């Protein structure tokens, strides 16, 4: 009789298949969890707006409108408070890691310099050399903001603009960079949290509108947003305008414009290039 061995073989095959399926499911779950946790690992460059200390620690407000709590029990509390105070006094960025609960896990000093080369080292990394800092810095392609950071590094290199950066020692891995635009009080269009809440839907619609036209929303900055009735007007500066000395007359760079957003329909209804 072959029935019993046959059933045993079928049962063994089913167990093996189930084991493979379970392994794959667990691997996918772990990958998803890693992706969800990754952003909280990286330091972000933020500028401190105000600090409120209490017996429990400090609540730090940033210019983006975000806030974080720094516990007085943190092992580097005094050092990190000093970094925050300097950021507030000088309006310079500081590297900050805030978890999903709003707790500040780490603060780090930011440096500034000029980029002199940006090269593709290999598929995993981009190599960056600064003018006045020793050592070669690297930007990992797995970084969640890789494209935006690389774009700012290249801009610093090509336009000879000073750039703020925070890196992780001893491997000199870049975590974030920031170009502070001079003479123009504007916020990057894609940094929605840095805008007043009432204008974020308009900015999001503007970014979508630009992308559909084949333009890159992260290359635009918005300033002096105004509202009349149901219409919100977003004056957009393009990054090509900033290297030019004339910023008040005409359309420096040729790409600056106003976008008008209808709060009723939730759509961009007009585009007017500066004259």
Q: Which of 37-46, 109-118, 119-128, 147-156 has the lowest mean pLDDT?
A: 37-46
Mean pLDDT over the full length of the chain: 81
Q: How confident is residue 11, by pLDDT bands cut at 50, 70 and 90?
A: low
Tell whether the model's pLDDT for residue 75 goes beyond 80: yes
Task: Check residue 103 and report its DSSP letter.
Answer: B
In percent, the amount of the chain with pLDDT more than 90 equals: 46
Q: How confident is residue 161, by pLDDT bands cut at 50, 70 and 90?
A: confident
Q: How confident is residue 90, by pLDDT bands cut at 50, 70 and 90?
A: confident
pTM: 0.56
Structural domains of the chain, with CATH: 44-108 (2.40.50.340), 113-178 (2.40.50.340), 187-273 (3.10.450)
Residue 180 or 141, more confident: 141
Do 212 and 219 meet the contact criterion of CB atoms below 8 Å apart?
no
Residues 249-258: tens digit of each pLDDT: 455 557 888 9
Residues 176-217: tens digit of each pLDDT: 998 866 555 678 888 888 888 889 999 999 999 999 999 989
Do 70 and 58 meet the contact criterion of CB atoms below 8 Å apart?
yes
The pLDDT, as a whole number, for residue 265 is: 93
Alpha-carbon span 165 to 163, nearest angstrom? 6
Tell whether the model's pLDDT for residue 37 goes beyond 50: no
Alpha-carbon span 174 to 42, nearest angstrom? 9
Backbone angles phi, psi at 220, to 5 degrees: -110, 145
The whole-number average pLDDT for the span 5-12 is 54
- Residue appearing with tokens 């900033």: 242
Apex CA 179: angle with CA 167 and CA 258, to 5°? 145
The whole-number average pLDDT for the span 119-127 is 85
Which is nearest to 125 in space by CA: 138, 116, 137?
138
Mark 160-171 as b/e (b = at least 16 C-beta within 10 Å): ebebbbbbeeee
Highest mean pLDDT among 12-16, 232-236, 245-249: 232-236
């Amino acid at each position: 009789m072959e029935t019993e061995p046959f059933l045993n073989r079928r049962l063994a095959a089913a167990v093996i298949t189930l084991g493979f399926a379970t392994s794959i499911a667990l691997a996918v779950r772990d990958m998803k969890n890693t992706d969800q946790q990754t952003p909280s690992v990286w330091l972000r460059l933020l500028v401190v707006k105000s600090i409120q200390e209490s017996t429990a620690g400090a609540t730090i407000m940033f210019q983006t409108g975000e806030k974080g709590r720094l516990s007085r029990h943190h092992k580097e509390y005094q050092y990190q408070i000093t970094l925050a105070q300097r950021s507030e006094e000088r309006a310079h960025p500081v590297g900050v890691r805030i978890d999903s609960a709003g707790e500040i896990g780490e603060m780090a000093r930011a440096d500034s310099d000029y980029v002199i080369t940006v090269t593709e080292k290999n598929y995993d990394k981009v190599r960056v050399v600064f003018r006045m800092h020793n050592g070669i810095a690297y930007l990992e392609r797995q970084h969640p903001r890789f494209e935006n950071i690389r774009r700012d590094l290249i801009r610093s290199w090509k336009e000879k603009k000073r750039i703020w950066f925070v890196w992780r020692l001893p491997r000199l891995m870049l975590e974030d960079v920031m170009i502070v635009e001079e003479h123009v009080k504007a916020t990057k269009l894609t940094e929605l949290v840095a805008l007043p809440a009432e204008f974020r839907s308009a900015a999001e619609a503007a970014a979508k509108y630009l992308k559909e036209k084949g333009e890159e929303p992260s290359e635009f900055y918005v300033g002096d947003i105004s509202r009349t009735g149901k219409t919100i007007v977003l004056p957009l500066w393009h990054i090509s305008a900033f290297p030019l000395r004339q910023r008040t007359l005409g359309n420096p760079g040729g790409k600056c414009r106003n976008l008008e957003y209808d709060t009723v329909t939730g759509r961009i209804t007009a585009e007017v290039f500066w004259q």
